[in-house]
Structure 1
Amino acid sequence: MSIPFLKDDPLPTGAVEELGRFGGTRLRRIRCGNPGPFTFLGTNTYLIGEGRVAVLDPGPEDAAHHAALRAALAGETVSHILVSHTHRDHSPGAAALRAASGAPTLGFGPHQTPPEAGGEGADHAFTPDIALADGGTVAGEGWRLAALHTPGHCANHLCFALEGAGVLFSADHVMSWSTSVVSPPDGDMAAYMAGLARLAARPEALFLPGHGAPLPEPARFTRALLAHRQAREDSLRAALAEGPATVAALVPRLYGALDPRLVPAAGRSLLAHLRKLEAEGLARPEPGSGAWAAAG
């Protein structure tokens, strides 16, 4: 099943997009100017409600983005600062926004993998004022969000369902422009694929991702993401059936020609698949060689 990625997002950096009213709740989007191979055109920040507003994913430490948020919120009060996960393109901006507004921060918890254990790319300074577990809720004037713990891309990753509105903020678990990187040990492929299956069964008609344009028909898209991951895993098992191989040797065999900037991330995702297969008794590391072999 091919994935119908949305590669066009005409929203200018720093501009405010009126997404509409959903279940009576006004939603707006502002994109940070932090483009890159893993952030597409930049990180999306969402404004939920009006008058007293929740801000979801304030983005990186970026003075221009913080100024754009202040301008968009002129005359309004920030009541909550929500963080989907603690990668450095999503949560560091919460500190400046909290200092300016006094609003509490909410998220699953601090980053769960320390730097020395492979927790690179993370905002280790962030700890939410209020922790939200799976199924936890937060409400403001005219809106209510339910948190869905969806680890895989990041161990503390949350999606948020806007209750009664048919909208789910899917952050980096489901993005409209690309697949997500799953990098062990903080990233977990089994958890990621289980999260995709969970989100594909959701009733919402619109996903609002952490990067890229709004995603209509999200169930079909999410099922395609899951099928893609399963196909990658099947190809990996077929490659291992031909004999042991290292991750570095497997990347070009399974991915073909890649932008060199994406090769390390592809290797991390393959490692995540291998660790999933190892847990299932279907692959094993070859001691001392760095290679992996079929098992079972």
Structure 2
Amino acid sequence: MSIPYVRDIEIEYGRCDQVSPLIRRVTANNPGPFTFKGTGTYIVGRGEVAVIDPGPDDPVHLQAILQAVAGETVTHILITHHHSDHSPLAGALKAATGATIYGCAVAGHEEEDGGVKMEAGHDLSFQPDVSLCGGGQVISGPGWTMEAIATPGHTSNHICFTLREENACFSGDHIMGWSTTVITPPDGDMTDYLASLDDIRGRRFDVLWPTHGPPIRDVDAFIQAYADHRQERLDQILGALKSGPAKIRELVPRLYADVDSRLHPAAARSMLAGMEHLVRKGQLTADTDGPDATYRLA
């Protein structure tokens, strides 16, 4: 089943767009193969507002956010996860506004093996003022109410945020309309990701607001396609190994032939996550841990 990608979005960097009754968005000028058109920073509410994913350490983007909230009070800065296109500007925004930073600190994972990393990298120094690890916390302001949902998988500390008044979910990088989500061990985990995907699907949101790209409005069908795609990738791995044991670097060019070659290193990390998931399920065995292992059917 193909994923019904949602990629149509009009971007003017630094402009504040009213995208729903309670939500505004300002997009940072950091487009790329992992960020699509750039980091979409969301502002929720009026008067006393929350800012979600302030984005990269970019003084121009900081000024755009501050201009968007001029005359208002930023009370909450909410971080979905610690990648460098999401969290680094939180400190400067806090210094400018006095707002409290909410999120979940990462547990000190190193960069991915072999020099492969997310394009934007990791913000390992990220430390929230208030921890949302585990989820369930309710955050509110005048006319808006949000809940943190722990959604590990893309990263171990990923958090999605509901907006109850609009039955909406700010999905960070957990679910994106323009692309599948990269799962990169050791911090990313496919087993956790699939469980988190089921959690979000079960909540029946009317709309998802990813940090990158336009909203997803046909939520159930999109998440089903997302899950089906993951299962298809796992089935491809199992099918490829029917012809004999193989290493990830031998399988990626075959199984990701339809993916931009610039993303093949990330695809290899995602395949490793899939391999680890299948080993846990007892469907594969490996002669060692990590990306250089030889995998075979159990």
TM-score range (shorter-chain normalised) is over 0.9
What SS does the aligned partner of 2:19 have? strand
Q: Which amino acid aligns with 1:267?
A: A
Q: What is the aligned partner in structure 2 of residue 213 from structure 1?
A: 214
Q: What is the aligned partner in structure 1 of residue 225 from structure 2?
A: 224
Q: Which deviations, in whole Å up to 9, do the C-alpha atoms of 1:54-77 show, x marking residues without a partner?
A: 100000101111111011011111
Q: Tell me the CA shift for residue 293 of structure 1.
A: 2.7
- Structure 1 residue 290 and structure 2 residue 285: aligned? no
With over 3 angstroms needed to count, the CA separation of the structure-2 counterparts of 1:17 and 1:123, relative to structure 1, is same
Deviates more, 1:117-126 or 1:245-254: 117-126
Q: What is the aligned partner in structure 1 of residue 26 from structure 2?
A: 30
- Structure 1 residue 111 and structure 2 residue 106: aligned? yes
Give me the whole-angstrom Cα distance separating, in 1, the residues matched to 2:271 and 2:84: 23
Q: Which amino acid aligns with 1:104?
A: T
What SS does the aligned partner of 2:149 have? strand
Q: Which amino acid aligns with 1:97?
A: L
What does 1:1-296 align with in structure 2 at a 5 Å threshold? 1-21=1-21, 26-108=22-104, 110-115=105-110, 121-132=121-132, 133-287=134-288, 290-296=292-298
TM-score (norm 1): 0.94
Q: Which deviations, in whole Å up to 9, do the C-alpha atoms of 1:223-267 show, x marking residues without a partner?
A: 100000001000101111211111111101111154231010000
Q: Structure 2, unaligned stretches of length 5 or more?
A: none
Q: Which amino acid aligns with 2:109?
A: P
Identity among equivalent positions (%) equals 44
What SS does the aligned partner of 1:164 have? helix
CA contact (8 A) 2:136 2:148 kept: yes
Q: Tell me the CA shift for residue 38 of structure 1.
A: 0.4
Give me the whole-angstrom Cα distance separating, in 2, the residues matched to 1:92 and 1:204: 29
With over 3 angstroms needed to count, the CA separation of the structure-2 counterparts of 1:215 and 1:73, relative to structure 1, is same
Give me the whole-angstrom Cα distance separating, in 2, the residues matched to 1:9 and 1:126: 30
CA contact (8 A) 1:167 1:205 kept: yes
How many residue pairs match? The answer is 291
TM-score (norm 2): 0.93
Give me the whole-angstrom Cα distance separating, in 1, the residues matched to 2:190 and 2:206: 25
Q: Structure 1, unaligned stretches of length 5 or more?
A: none
Give me the whole-angstrom Cα distance separating, in 2, the residues matched to 1:287 and 1:158: 31
Give me the whole-angstrom Cα distance separating, in 1, the residues matched to 2:228 and 2:112: 30
